Amino acid sequence: MKIGFIGLGIMGKPMSKNLLKAGYELLVLDRNQASVAEVAAAGARAADYAAIANECEVVITMLPNSPQVKEVMCGEEGLGALMHEGQVFIDMSSINPTASQEISAELAKKGVKMLDAPVSGGEPKAIDGTLSIMVGGDEDVFEQMKEMLLVMGGSAVYCGAVGAGNTTKLANQIIVACNIQALAEAMTLAQKAGVNPQLVFEAIRGGLAGSTVMDAKAPMMIAGNDKPGFKIDLHIKDLNNALDCAHSVGAPVPMTAAVQEILQWLHNHEGGQKDHSAIAQYYEHLADIQIGR
């Protein structure tokens, strides 16, 4: 199978490399030529829209948000205009489910089928190929693509029609953000009460409060490590999409709105490029402490 891969950022670059390792032939495209050169050195071929449309059975995008995916697939000079019947488009970006449905409807006019397949797990899981992949679209197309998707993920779960993958991802991002916020509050409480946050973490991680979020983010908070695995600005983008979607369907999301305000405060205080575990820094600022230090 020959695949066109567009978007070689923090996530797309290791995902594309895993496809190469599995023996897939890749044509790649990104505005960052250094990223293109790096993936090309691993065995891919740099290409333009025309080559991808003419040669590839499958096109994958891993882009920042809805406008970028729409520009690539629905723009007047975009890739979608060059694609043809029988090809499959898989958008692995995290975007608004409504946008996924709009893009799918446009591509369907040309006989191109679409899956929305956002991922969870951040850069570490992108590197080791164990991402969680949430998929919307035609179930038959999902079954055809599942083996390839599992090269990049530890799981690939069919969630429903087009848009269901991104709806599932928004639910995931709400849970992750609220978990990080709760963890930051708990670590702040421990620090202010004079109890070592590291010992609190070790004591509770095996109980009901334990989670993948806690295991990944508590050590970062305690060490003051805000090197991004998933940036605050990207989480703001996801929660904006979650709030928009929730408002359109009438779902109450007050916790999401609250944590979004914290993320926005961090963005406004030069924290947008930090890891989302830096939510703890908001509490450190309020409490005049440093967690674990």
Domain-embedded: residue 132: yes
For 10-26, what is the mean pLDDT? 97
Q: Is 11 exposed, middle or buried (0-12, 13-18, 19+ CB in 10 A)?
A: buried
214 and 97 within one domain: no
Domain-embedded: residue 293: no
Match 């908001």 to its residue by tokens: 282
Element (H, E) at 62: none
Of 112, 143, 161, which residue constitutes the final position of a domain? 161
pLDDT at 235 over 90: yes
237 and 103 within one domain: no
Domain-embedded: residue 292: no
194 and 115 within one domain: no
207 and 272 within one domain: yes
Of 99, 130, 161, which residue constitutes the final position of a domain? 161
> What confidence score (pLDDT) does residue 237 get?
94
Closest C-alpha to 74, from 32, 51, 49, 102: 102
236 and 127 within one domain: no
% residues pLDDT > 70 (the chain): 100
For 139-158, what is the mean pLDDT? 98
Q: What SS3 class is residue 208?
A: coil
Q: Is 78 exposed, middle or buried (0-12, 13-18, 19+ CB in 10 A)?
A: middle
Q: Which two tokens stand for residue 30?
A: 């990104």
120 and 17 within one domain: yes
Domain residues for the domain of 237 are 168-287
Q: Which CATH number do you get for residue 107?
A: 3.40.50.720
Question: At what angle are helices 164-192 and 197-204 packed, to 10 degrees?
Answer: 130
211 and 151 within one domain: no
The distance of Cα 24 from the centroid of its chain, to the nearest Å, equals 22
Q: Is 268 exposed, middle or buried (0-12, 13-18, 19+ CB in 10 A)?
A: exposed
> How many residues make up the chain in this entry?
293
pLDDT at 76 over 90: no
Domain-embedded: residue 34: yes
Domain-embedded: residue 223: yes
For residue range 211-228, what is the model confidence (pLDDT) as tens digits? 999 999 999 999 999 998
Model-level pTM greater than 0.75?
Answer: yes
Report the relative pairing of strands 119-120 and 131-137 from DSSP bridges.
Answer: antiparallel
Strand partners, 45: 27
137 and 102 within one domain: yes
Domain-embedded: residue 40: yes
Are 52 and 2 a contacting pair, CB within 8 Å? no
How many CB atoms are located within 10 Å of the residue 143 CB?
A: 10
122 and 241 within one domain: no
Domain-embedded: residue 220: yes
* Cα torsion angle, 121, 201, 239, 7, sign: negative
Domain-embedded: residue 119: yes
For 156-168, what is the mean pLDDT? 98
Structural domains in the chain (count): 2
Closest C-alpha to 15, from 60, 82, 58: 60
Catalytic residue, candidates 17, 70, 125, 169: 169
pLDDT at 121 over 90: no
17 and 110 within one domain: yes
Of 161, 192, 217, which residue constitutes the final position of a domain? 161
Q: Which CATH number do you get for residue 279?
A: 1.10.1040.10
For residue range 190-202, what is the model confidence (pLDDT) as tens digits? 999 999 999 999 9
44 and 151 within one domain: yes
Q: Which two tokens stand for residue 232?
A: 């605050």
47: Cβ–Cβ under 8 A, 6 or more apart, which residues?
4, 27, 28, 29, 55
Are 5 and 19 a contacting pair, CB within 8 Å? yes
Q: Which two tokens stand for residue 58?
A: 């499958």
Closest C-alpha to 257, from 275, 243, 237: 243
13 and 156 within one domain: yes
Distance (Å, whole) CA 95 – CA 259: 19
Our answer to whether residue 237 is catalytic in this structure is no
Closest C-alpha to 94, from 73, 119, 58: 119
